[in-house]
Amino acid sequence: MRRTFGKTIFGAALAGLVFGAFAQPASAIEISKHAKDSAEVNAILVKGVINQGDTFELQAYIASLPKKPHIVIFLSSPGGNLAEGMKLGRFFYDRKIETAIETKTFCASACALAFLGGRDDSGKPLRTKAANSGLGFHSFTREFDKDKSYTAEDLKVVVQRTQSTVYVVADYLKAINTDMDIIRIMLKAQNSEMNFISNDDALTLNIRVFDEKRNAVVDPEQVLDRLNASKSAANRPAQNAPTAKAEGKSPT
């Protein structure tokens, strides 16, 4: 399952649009059984740079596994091919596959978009990151030939293709029914940086966080339920205490 990694280029050589702040390392995706595999769960580790065709490779791998009630994909990747990352995410979403990021590992760039596709058997979001793992997003970058002069028309093409790429990402997020605020988080980081979101932000985006200190999962829906219950109790009108009858007097 090894292939040579090549950066994903959007557009002609005059201005390729690359999803990534830096050149990705020359490695390849690895698909293997995860240590948490059990009688009820096909646990799969997907590790390395995401390349074109990896979704098919993962489907082929899953087809060879014994049938079990659940599938969990553990992701560990710096990113890679933008289109393939979103294709993976659609696959997770459509097939109701849970996604996870383990302690002291990270999932960034195209991997982060794939991670967002994780769902449970009913189709609800089921994406879990360990509290000390990394889930990173960043903005687009552009590549230019430093020895070439570009015209105003060339630059118009760059702008148009950049807008098209943003549209493609927005369309993907809508297709997997995920918060569009992801685009703001992506564009917040410069193309030379990575915006690793906080655990608070993860909960806001309906992503579960595994708290290693308490050995427990913090579920955003449970947090919301507790907050709503607290607000309801605070807004509930106080009941008046019953008035005691004076001794020796008949009721009027």
What integer best gives the mean pLDDT of the chain?
Answer: 82
User: Do the beta carbons of residue 64 and residue 35 sit within 8 Å?
Assistant: no
Residue type, 206: N
Residue-range domain boundaries for the chain: 16-235
The whole-number pLDDT of residue 143 equals 67
The string of pLDDT tens digits covering residues 185-237 is 998 877 668 999 999 999 999 999 999 999 999 999 887 665 555 555 556 66
Query: Residue 2's pLDDT band (boundaries 50, 70, 90)?
Result: very low
Query: Residue 7's pLDDT band (boundaries 50, 70, 90)?
Result: very low
The whole-number pLDDT of residue 15 equals 30
CA-closest candidate to residue 92, choices 121, 69, 132: 121
> What ranges make up the beta strands (E) of 11-133?
16-18, 30-33, 41-47, 70-76, 98-101, 106-108, 127-130
Give the mean pLDDT of 107-133: 97
CATH for 16-235, among 1.10.10.10, 3.40.50.80, 3.40.50.1980, 3.90.226.10? Answer: 3.90.226.10
Question: Highest-confidence range of 6-10, 167-171, 238-242, 248-252, by mean pLDDT?
Answer: 167-171
The string of pLDDT tens digits covering residues 201-210 is 999 999 999 9
Q: Which residues contact 26 (CB under 8 A, 6 or more apart)?
A: 4, 5
The whole-number pLDDT of residue 5 equals 26
The whole-number pLDDT of residue 89 equals 98
User: Do the beta carbons of residue 117 and residue 95 sit within 8 Å?
Assistant: no
Give the mean pLDDT of 100-128: 97
Give the mean pLDDT of 59-68: 97
In percent, the amount of the chain with pLDDT more than 70 equals 75
Query: Residue 146's pLDDT band (boundaries 50, 70, 90)?
Result: confident
The whole-number pLDDT of residue 3 equals 31
The whole-number pLDDT of residue 231 equals 53
Q: At what angle do helices 54-63 and 82-94 cross, to 10 degrees?
A: 30
Residue type, 6: G
**13 has a pLDDT exceeding 90:** no
